[in-house]
């Protein structure tokens, strides 16, 4: 696993092998991550990465959020309640020397609680597949005020997700078993 583009292109990240089913670690492949960032940068609408505040829910190894930092995001908040995931995430943050631009929170992404800071303009949502956790996490983020108006949500899931009312689907692509859906929050 590596950073694919931007200032830290080529940086090798901590390896998790085939993932850790017990810890629900299923890292996004380099191929899918590259496709996601191509959609964000070259898809319909303005590139949301430069200066973005990013919320990475079910962060796992942090590859999505760290890729966003490499490509110009200003800050990333990583949320994961797994000890193994947070250990890998911290190792990757150190490898990238991104300690000053990241936060790591031990939280259940489906119960975020209230946000005490500004909203996030880009949200990565990569829950364990087929458990309904993506819907619950997005509902929690909305309820807690975690989303900036017009935020872009990148949602990885095994089946088509049900976006909340008022959200616009920007794009949807299938890569093997992974369905990537881009949504835009209401302004």
In a domain, 70, yes or no: yes
Residue 4 placed within a domain: no
Judged against a pLDDT cut of 60, whether residue 167 lies above it is answered with yes
Q: Could you tell me if residue 2 is inside a domain?
A: no
| CA separation for the pair 113, 75 (Å, rounded) | 20
What's CA 34's distance to the chain center, in Å?
13
Number of domains making up the chain = 1
Q: Could you tell me the CATH number of the domain that includes residue 118?
A: 3.40.50.150
Q: What is the pLDDT of residues 32-53, one digit of tens each?
A: 889 999 999 987 678 899 999 9
Answer left, alpha or beta for residue 166, where phi above 0 means left and psi between -120 and 50 means alpha: left
pLDDT at 17: 55
Does 12 reside within a domain? no
Question: What digits encode the pLDDT tens for the residues 4-33?
Answer: 999 999 999 987 755 445 545 667 778 888
**Closest C-alpha to 172, from 25, 35, 20:** 35
Which residues lie below 8 Å from residue 25, measured CB to CB, with a gap of 6+?
16, 19, 60, 61, 82, 84, 85, 88
- Average pLDDT of the chain to the nearest whole number: 91
Nearest 5 degrees, angle CA 181-CA 10-CA 36?
10
Instruction: Tell me the residue range of the domain where 42 lies.
Output: 21-184
């Amino acid at each position: 696993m590596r950073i694919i583009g931007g200032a830290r292109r080529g940086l090798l990240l901590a390896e998790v092998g085939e993932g850790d089913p017990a810890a629900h670690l299923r890292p996004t492949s380099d191929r899918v991550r590259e496709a996601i960032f191509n959609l964000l940068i070259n898809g319909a609408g303005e590139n949301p990465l430069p200066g973005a505040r990013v919320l990475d829910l079910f962060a796992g190894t942090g590859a999505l959020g760290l890729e966003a930092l490499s490509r110009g995001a200003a800050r990333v908040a990583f949320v994961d309640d797994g000890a193994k995931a947070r250990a890998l995430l911290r190792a990757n943050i150190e490898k990238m020397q991104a300690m000053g631009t990241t936060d790591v929170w031990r939280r259940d992404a489906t119960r975020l609680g209230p946000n005490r800071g500004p909203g996030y303009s880009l949200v990565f949502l990569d829950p364990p597949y087929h458990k309904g956790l993506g819907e619950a996490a997005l509902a929690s983020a909305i309820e807690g005020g975690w989303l900036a108006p017009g935020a872009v949500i990148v949602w990885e899931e095994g089946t088509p997700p049900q976006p909340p009312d008022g959200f616009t689907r920007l794009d949807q692509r299938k890569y093997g078993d992974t369905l990537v859906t881009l949504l835009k929050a209401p302004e």
